Each structure stands twice: as structure tokens, then as C-alpha cells.
Structure 1
Amino acid sequence: MRSLIFLGILSLALARKTFFGDQVLTVHPKNEAQVQAIKNLDTKVDFWSPDSPAGISVGSSADIRIPSEILPAVKVALRRQKIEFEVMIEDVESLVGEQFKSAQGRGILDGTTAYDYEKYHTYDEINDWTNAIAAENPTMVQRTVLGQSTEGRDIPMLTLSSGQSASNPEILVDCGIHAREWVSPAFCQWFVRQLLDEPNNVRISEATYHIIPSINVDGYAYTWTNDRMWRKTRSKNGLCYGVDPNRNWDAGFGGEGSSSSSCAETYHGPYAESEPEVKAVADFMRANKDNVKLYVTYHSYGQMILYPYSYTYDLAANTDELDFYAVQGKNAIQSVHNKRYIYGPGAVTIYPAAGGSDDFAYDTGIKLSYTIELRDKGVYGFTLPESQIQATCEETDAFMQVMHNAVVSPTYQA
């Protein structure tokens, strides 16, 4: 079976979209005319951060992937508008190619080595891993399938608990909402292993953890076989494929920061929860809202701790509490490898983004709800090397320890 997976990846990798000569430019608009000039590039380029031209503003920077065929013309246009910029990534394919080269060469694909938590894994590998780790730890890990994707893939969830108390608080963690953010599913896998390897299984004796390694399973699979920079789901909508699964939740659906154009990267979909991947997780939240006390969703990149709201500039009722634990989490992260994170309400801290999962969780009744943007801050972006997975996970685990304590032994006082 694993040899077939290897052959499949090898053949499909040869046919995947390549990015030879593409560059990621970081641009710095200083006035509204420059902002508009950058926004006018919309259909020709790939906005990395922010994720759409709507998020660009005066005085902020933006990372944009420019296809090689228009790169000279774009640079001329930027210079003509006197827009300052620098090259963030000289050749996108050189980084993407290294990731695929690593995948083709590692033994896990043919079953000759143990599962490597410091590597990026395909959907099939992750799915097999969820089965294996549940089978290896039958008293502590339960595997369930929340639903199927548009293309019929399982959306597995692992529930970790020592079973000592049915009344323990529950924590929901998900990864991989956006397909190209590979370090996110890598963290969820690493975190499962970390919880199981802890002495006396301390955290899962005090709380029940529900961990979804990858929500957007079709999009993630597509990044391995066709387009490494794919972001959305794979449903067919009009002329284009895909819905932004983090604009598809019933939380200010269709509002600012989302798009009604089916070809846009932030397309919100024809209606809330149109995507089966989103509906499966939303249904779980609704069914378990009285028991789940914390929701954390992992994305990349930018090194941010965000909390509701993103669909409005209004503040959440317990903003002081959300901020209190965000500060603790930020400090915990920095204490590990000195990585600095910013924090705050989504709309205020970065830009409005209606239809997100953290806002939905909060409005459903999960009052500790966070979106974490993992490494980095604009060196590798979505192409974070595998060499940084371990360190990223270590510092993120420090954040999760803070949040665990917030649930089982809260220290916030109003």
C-alpha cells in the first residue's frame, strides 16, 4: 500500500504546477493611490499576506507571489508608482521543490521507517496515521470520522482522554483549514504525539482533547498532487473551483473580508456551511458546545494570536479574559525560541474577515476561542522548511499548556 502511495506521489509530483522564477515581493504602500495600484493586480497575482487585496492598507506591508511571466512588468509598475518593495523569496520553486524532494526520498512512504513528526505528510499518510495511532493506544485515543469531503475523503478526528473522568472539560483543536498552510497539520500530528508521550498523560487526564489534523482534506491533497499554493476547498462553483473554508462559517457570513466572486481566494461560497468539511465541524461544535470550553484553530503564517471578533469591529463580551490568556500564551511562546507573536481581536489587529471558524465557535457558546497564525513573519511564508517544524511545535505547545491551564485551573479574575 505504501509503495503505491510513493509511486502515486512521484508520478503526480512530476505533473504538478511549478513556480520557476516566481518571486514573493513584500510591498509597502504609503498612500491610497499606491494601495489602489496594488489592489489592481488582484487577478494576476497571489496574495499571501494579507490573503486578499481587501486587507491592504496604507502603512502596512503585503506579501504577494508574482508569476514569473509578469514579474518584470509588475516591478516596472511598482517603481512607476514609487511603491517600495523588496524580494522576500527569490525563487518560489526552489523552496517548493525541496519539500517535494524530501517527500519522495523518505522511508515513511514505503513503510521502512517510523512516522516522522518533523516532516510534512500527504493526506493519505495522515489518514493512515490516525488509524494507526488509535489502534496503538486503544485506551486513550478514539478515531471518529466527522464526515466526508466534496471528493469523498474522510475527515478524521482523534479524541484523546485517559478516561479518568467523564466530566472533564473538553478542548477542540483543528488544523489545515487552508490547504497550503502545511505547518498547521504538521503541528496537530506532533501535538497528538506530545500529549500521549507526556509522563502520566497529565493533560489528557485533566481534559478531553478533540484534534482534527486536517479539515480541508480535498484542498490539502490537491496541494500535493497539483498546486502547492492551493488555498480553498475543491467544490465546483460557477467558472471556478473552491470555497474559502474560513469564510464559509455562519458568523457574519458574506460580510467584509469575504468575496462573492467564485474565483476569488476569499470566496465565501453560495451559502453558510455549503462546504461539507465546514458543516461537519460546525455540527460537532453545535452538538458539544456545552462541554467544549476551548477552541483553537491553527493557520499560517504571521505569528499571531487572534480572537473574536473578525466579522465585526465590536469586541467580544469577555475580551479582557481572551486578552489575558493571549498575553500569557504570547509570553510562553517567546520563552521557548524567542519568537514574538502579536495578539488581539481579529478585525482590529489585522483586518475584517467574515465567516471564520473562531467567531462561529464563540457565537455558538465556546467562550475561549482563538486563531493562531504560526511561523513565520515573512521569510518563507507558506514554504516553511521542515527543519522548522520541531521548533514551531515546541513553542506552540507552550501556548497550548497555557490554554490547558486556562480551562482546568483558570487564573483570570474579572
Structure 2
Amino acid sequence: MLGVVIAGGAYVSTADEATFSGWLFDATKLVNPLFALLDPETAHRLAISAAARGFIPREKRPDPSILEVEVWGQKFSNPLGLAAGYDKNAEAVESLLGLGFSFIEVGSVTPIPQEGTQKPCIFRIPLERAIIGRDCVNSEGLVAVVERLAGQYGKIKFKRKSDGPEHGGTAGHGIVGVNIGKNTTSEDAAADYLQGFHTLCHIADYLVINVSPPNTPGLRKLEGRKQLKDLVRKIQSARDEMLWGERGPPPLLVKISPDLSRQDLEDIAAVALTLRLDGLIISNTTTSRPEPVNKYPVSKESGGLSGKPLFSLSTDILKEMYILTQGKITLVGCGGVSSGEDAYRKIRAGATLVQIYTAFSYEGPALVPRIKAELARCLEGDGFKSVHEAVGADCR
């Protein structure tokens, strides 16, 4: 046994970093199934705890050059990101970026701390690779998130120049967005979003106004044309009153629901174009229960459905929004992505960036390099030389 250990150590020591990194990602395929034996809340808590302590692999292999994209004046080494909801309180940002995501989104973050709903609040549907979550936006609040982002990096650039503080972002090797929300008990949604913006605007690489969580009562009403326009204008006015450095303010995005009518989509597109939003994230979870999810007893639980059954619905909405915004607004595709082909279909439907969540919860770290490799093959197979060339291909 001692000889095997010595020989194994000698072999590993001769392997380059990239090869060893690949072994570690492959090893997670053996460990990840154990999380399925735990209840969803415990499994998620344990996964975040492990990531926060660095007990996950770190990607050492460079991304294929075909995957590089440039959005909002920032370079993304690949279009794949981790959606909001996984690391709500910025506990493991650096380690999660180290998995090979080019960006991750923290949140939703509410102004003051608030608890989620009574447990159980997360329900798995393993055969469909789906999750139903009725968790209200449980958040440790703005102060905790800001302190964590500052503590993890020490790279938050409050560069005082003659024209004010410069937005510099948080991560040296990845892009960090923050999804801002409102407290469930708050009666003034705009005030909550403004507080989130003011607190995070010099820290986040981009900010997301989340008006589409299905579990916060009355919030989706903000997706109406007048309500959304008023809200975005207030935040943009606050932004315009501030002093910015050379890079300017962080991009401002809105995350929308997949449960929207054609008229709703037209209204949101009009607001996005009129107010020159930097982007839209399409989409949040759905309150619908499409086949075959509706045959499972757990489908009767309230909450938002995510995972594979959401893919078609969210991708159809994505394509529709790309057409309505005439390709002038950066779109982030989110909902049901579990493979490189899924990510490719989102891109062809109009997405420049793609986010995952539920599939990552089921499959773990090994999913990240697999999606990127499959996506590169899809692009090359159809003769595209870059992600940008493929964006909206199915709409042309």
C-alpha cells in the first residue's frame, strides 16, 4: 500500500497542471451522487460550504478561443455563467469562478436580512432533472454581501480620481454580477432596488433588477410596461447623478419571467429599447407545470419550476425577445441548460451569455468543462468562428 501511494504521488507530480485539473473534475463524478442522498436544503448548504472552503477543483485548462465574448466592454473567456440563487450571499464566489465559469451572479440580495419560507421549500424531480423551489428570497442582506465581496478579493477598486470613484469590479479572474431584490415585507419596491443599487454599484461588474421571482407576492406586477419603466428610470436617474471614472457605471440588466404574454414581452422590449437597458436575463423560474412534470405528485407544490422542463419555454421567450429588441439588447439565456448543445441553442436563439443552475446542482463541477467543450464543438461544426457569429442565428 505504501508503494502504491509513493508511486501514485510520483505519477501525479509528473503531470502538468492542466492534466491534474482534469483528473480532479473527473473525480467529482464519483462524489457528487452522494449529495442526492441528502435532502435538497442540506445538500445545497453542504455544497456551498465545501466551495467556500476551497474543497472543489480549480480549472487550469484554458478555454478554447472560439468561446471568448466581449460584452459591456468586458471580456468573458467563455459565455457560461452560474445563475443567481446558487450562491445567494457571496459565500464562495472565488472558488465557484475557479470552476471555469467566466462569470457568476450573486443574489438575490435584499436590503435587510430575511428568512426563506418554512421548510421543506425545495423539491427534486430527479427523473426530469427539475427542481421546484418555493423559497422566498432568503438573504443575509446587503451589508453581509458587501463585506464578503470585499473580504474575498481586496480588489474592489474605490479609486478616487478627480471625477469620482471608478467602477473596477471584484474578481481578478472572472466577472461578478449581483442580483438585487426587494424585501418581502417592504411596501416600497423602488426604494429597496435603489438601496441595492447605491450599495453595490461600485462593487459589482453588473447589476440585475430582479422583478420576476415567483415567490415574492406581487413582485411580478413590476414587469408591466409603466411599472417597469418607472422603476428603471428611477435607478438610471440615481446612476446619472453619480460621478464615475473611465469605465463608467456597471451595466444594468432586468431579469424577467417566462410566464409572460405576447403583450407583456412587447412592453418589456419597448422599455428596454427606449431606456437603453444594458441587458435582459431570460428567464426566471416558471409557475407552470408542463408535461411531464405535471404527472408527479410533487408538482402540486407551490413555487417556481427550474431545470430541463423549463428549457423550451424559456428558449422560446428568449427568441421572441431577441426579435422584439431587434438584436440591439444583450440577452442572457437562462433556464434548463444541461449540455453544450442546450447552451448552443440558447445562443442561436439570441443569447450572448448563458447561465446554468439546476443542472449544476444535479451534476456538480464536472458539468462546467463538459458544457464548454460541447459548445465549442457545436460552433465549429456549423462553421462559426466565434460565439458572436452564432448569436441569433435561428432568428435570421
Q: TM-score, normalised by structure 1?
A: 0.26
- Give the alignment's TM-score, normalised by structure 2: 0.27
